[in-house]
Amino acid sequence: MSVTSSMPLPSQLSTTDLQIYLDIATEAALAGGAILQTFLGKLEDVQEKGRPGDLVTEADKASEAVVLATLQRHLPDHAILSEEAGASSGTSNRFLWAVDPLDGTTNYAHQYPAYAVSIGLLVEGVPHVGVVFDPARQELFCAAKGLGATCNRRPIRVSTTKELGKSLLVTGFAYDRRQTTDNNYAEFCYLTHLTQGVRRSGSAATDLAAVACGRLDGYWERGLSPWDITAGIVLVEEAGGLVSTYDGSPIQVNTGRILATNGVIHTSLSQALEATPPLSIWADLEGLSKLG
C-alpha cells in the first residue's frame, strides 16, 4: 500500500463527499480523544516499541480501537493505515485513512499537555481531509480540500510574519536521533540562532495545527510517518500556508520529511535548512559570531 505526494490531482469528490468524510473523521477523533482522557494519569502498561523513547500505552490502543471502529462502521470499503494496528485493506484502493490515535505518547505518559488524535484521508495519495483533536486543550482542528480550516468550528489562518528573523518556529527529533548524525540537531541550533526562537512540543500533529492557526510561523521535521502529518498537511494548506519537502519540492508523505510555513517565510526557511552548517560550529564561538 503506497502513499505518495500531496501534489494537486484532479478529484472527482464533491463538496458533499468531503464534508461527509470530514464529519466522520471528526466523530472518530472526538471519540478517541475522550478515551485518552479517561486513561490520563492512570496508565499501567507503558512499553517501548523497540526504539528508546518510542512508547505505546493501553491508551494508544484503546483510542485506536474506537477510531478504527468508527471509520470502518461508516466507510467499510476504505483502507486504513494506523500507527499501532498497521495497514488494513479496503475494497477501494483510492481512499486511505492515516490514523495516529495518540500523537505525543511520551508527553501523554508524563501528563504533559501536548498530544492529540490525528486522522487524515489520502485520496489517490493526496491529503484531502484532516482532523486533529487536542483533548487537553479541547481544541478541534478540521479541514478538507476547498472547504477551509477551522478550530472549534471557527475559521483559522496562518500568520502574516514576513521575515525569518521575526518568526517563531517549531520542530522535533526522530526516535533514531541517538543512532544517526541526520538528527536535526544542527538545524535546531542554526534556526534558533536565526529566528526569535524554535520550540519543540513532541507532537507533529499539534505543531502543524499551531502553524495552521497562526501561533507559529513554520515547522520542519524528519523521521515522520504518514499518520503523523497527513491531517496536518490539509490543515496548513487550507489555512493558507505552504507544505513541501525541505528543498521546496512537493511533499511526499512517506519520505518522513516536511516543511510547513505560513507561505511568506517558506523560501527563506527552506534556504536556511539547505545552508545549515555542521553541528561542530556551535562549539566554535568565533565561527558562531560570523553567522550573526
Which of 155, 179, 198 finishes a domain?
155
Residue 139 belongs to some domain of the structure: yes
Q: Using 50, 70 and 90 to split pLDDT, how confident is the model at 23?
A: very high
Q: Give the integer Cα–Cα distance in Å for 206 and 219.
A: 11
Give the lowest-confidence range in 3-12, 16-25, 73-82. 3-12
State residue 47's pLDDT score. 74
Q: Give the integer Cα–Cα distance in Å for 87 and 275.
A: 37
Question: 142: which 3 cell numbers?
Answer: 478540521
- Percent of the chain topping pLDDT 70: 86
Q: Give the integer Cα–Cα distance in Å for 29 and 13.
A: 22
The answer to whether residues 130 and 253 belong to one domain is: no
The answer to whether residues 251 and 173 belong to one domain is: yes
Residue 270 belongs to some domain of the structure: yes
Q: Is the pLDDT of residue 143 over 80?
A: yes
The answer to whether residues 143 and 215 belong to one domain is: no
Q: Using 50, 70 and 90 to split pLDDT, how confident is the model at 17?
A: very high
The DSSP 8-state label assigned to residue 246 in this structure reads T
Which range of residues forms the domain containing residue 213?
164-291
Q: Is 43 helix (H, G, I), strand (E, B) or coil?
A: coil
CATH (domain of 270): 3.40.190.80
State residue 89's pLDDT score. 67
Give the lowest-confidence range in 47-56, 58-67, 144-153, 231-240. 47-56
Q: Is 270 helix (H, G, I), strand (E, B) or coil?
A: helix
Distances (CA, A) of 31 to 113, 192, 200: 18, 37, 27
Residue 197, Ramachandran bin (φ over 0: left; ψ between -120 and 50: alpha; else beta): left
Residue 74 belongs to some domain of the structure: yes
Residue 1 belongs to some domain of the structure: no
The answer to whether residues 144 and 270 belong to one domain is: no
The answer to whether residues 118 and 216 belong to one domain is: no
The answer to whether residues 49 and 146 belong to one domain is: yes
Q: Using 50, 70 and 90 to split pLDDT, how confident is the model at 252?
A: confident
Q: Is the pLDDT of residue 3 over 50?
A: no
The answer to whether residues 180 and 241 belong to one domain is: yes
pLDDT digit string (tens) for 77-129?
999 999 777 777 666 779 999 999 999 999 999 999 999 999 999 999 999 99
The DSSP 8-state label assigned to residue 288 in this structure reads H
263 Cβ partners below 8 Å, 6+ apart? 158, 240, 241, 242
Residue 246 belongs to some domain of the structure: yes
Tally of structural domains, the chain = 2
Q: Give the integer Cα–Cα distance in Å for 140 and 117.
A: 10
pTM above 0.75, yes or no: yes
Residue 6 belongs to some domain of the structure: no
Residue 277 belongs to some domain of the structure: yes
Query: If you average pLDDT over each of 34-48, 55-69, 210-224, which comes out highest?
Result: 210-224
For 64, the enclosing helix (H) or strand (E) is helix 58-74
Which of 155, 184, 210 finishes a domain?
155
State residue 100's pLDDT score. 96
State residue 141's pLDDT score. 99
Burial tier of 256 (Cβ tally within 10 Å: 0-12, 13-18, 19+) = middle
The answer to whether residues 216 and 132 belong to one domain is: no
What mean pLDDT value characterizes the chain? 89
∠ CA 172-206-235, nearest 5°, is: 115
The answer to whether residues 185 and 215 belong to one domain is: yes
- Percent of the chain topping pLDDT 90: 74
Q: Using 50, 70 and 90 to split pLDDT, how confident is the model at 283?
A: low
Q: Using 50, 70 and 90 to split pLDDT, how confident is the model at 158?
A: very high
Residue 3 belongs to some domain of the structure: no
Which of 116, 138, 155 finishes a domain?
155
Q: Is the pLDDT of residue 131 over 80?
A: yes
Residue type, 260: A
CATH (domain of 39): 3.30.540.10
Beta strands at 78-82 and 86-88: parallel, antiparallel or unpaired: antiparallel
State residue 203's pLDDT score. 97
The answer to whether residues 203 and 133 belong to one domain is: no
Residue type, 102: L
Mean pLDDT of 131-148: 98
The answer to whether residues 110 and 23 belong to one domain is: yes
Q: Is 44 helix (H, G, I), strand (E, B) or coil?
A: coil
pLDDT digit string (tens) for 179-225?
666 789 999 999 999 999 999 999 999 999 999 999 999 999 999 99
Q: CB of 134 within 8 A of CB of 182?
A: no
State residue 9's pLDDT score. 44
Mean pLDDT of 14-30: 97
The answer to whether residues 132 and 171 belong to one domain is: no
State residue 247's pLDDT score. 94
